[in-house]
Amino acid sequence: MTTIRAATPADQPRIDAIRMGVRENVLSDPAKVTPEEVCWYREHAIFLVAEEAGEVVAFACANHQTGFIWALFVDPSHEGRGHGRALLDEALARLKGAGHAQAWLTTGAGTRAERFYRRHGWHDMGRSLDGQLAFIKTLG
């Protein structure tokens, strides 16, 4: 069973390990994610972790000011068990609660994530400037 809760500073090593352990949407340069940015999401925005049997197995970050889903990452050995969906549903509920009518994100083309978003009602808006696929979802 998935438990969703707010991330704490103590979760960060496990979160970093999950981020660096994924096989798709790999972080090309770890320096692109700064500690300040991570801290901002944790202290001021939406930063959630999913736990299974007391272990953090996935995390998601969303920007309550812009409606942007900044991160959604599941430990590869825990994929396909509903953690991604549970985290995304909770992040979207919080964005809606913050007053957003839609959410948006970008992801790599041809990935499991692309298929996942399409199945869950996200609309393809074409390519962003960095070549990623851009998706939006209306928060009904």
Ligand X SMILES: CC(C)(COP(=O)(O)OP(=O)(O)OC[C@H]1O[C@@H](n2cnc3c(N)ncnc32)[C@H](O)[C@@H]1OP(=O)(O)O)[C@@H](O)C(=O)NCCC(=O)NCCS
Smallest CA-to-CA distance from 93 within 103, 104, 106, 108 is with 103
Amino acid at position 122, single letter: W
The reply to whether 102 sits near ligand X by the rule CB under 6 A is: no
Strand intervals (E) in 53-121: 55-63, 68-74, 102-107
Region of 37-45, 78-86, 91-99, 123-131 interacting with ligand X (CB under 6 A)? 78-86
Between residues 94 and 99, which has the closer beta carbon with respect to ligand X? 94
Between residues 28 and 99, which has the closer beta carbon with respect to ligand X? 28
Phi, psi at 118, each rounded to 5°: -60, -40
Interface residue with ligand X among 38, 56, 113, 133 (CB under 6 A) is 113
The reply to whether 33 sits near ligand X by the rule CB under 6 A is: no
The reply to whether 107 sits near ligand X by the rule CB under 6 A is: yes
Region of 3-11, 18-26, 40-48, 91-99 interacting with ligand X (CB under 6 A)? 18-26
The answer to whether the beta carbons of residues 22 and 76 sit under 8 Å apart is yes
Strand intervals (E) in 21-122: 46-52, 55-63, 68-74, 102-107
Contact residues: ligand X, CB under 6 A: 22, 24-25, 72-74, 79-85, 105, 107, 111-113, 116, 119
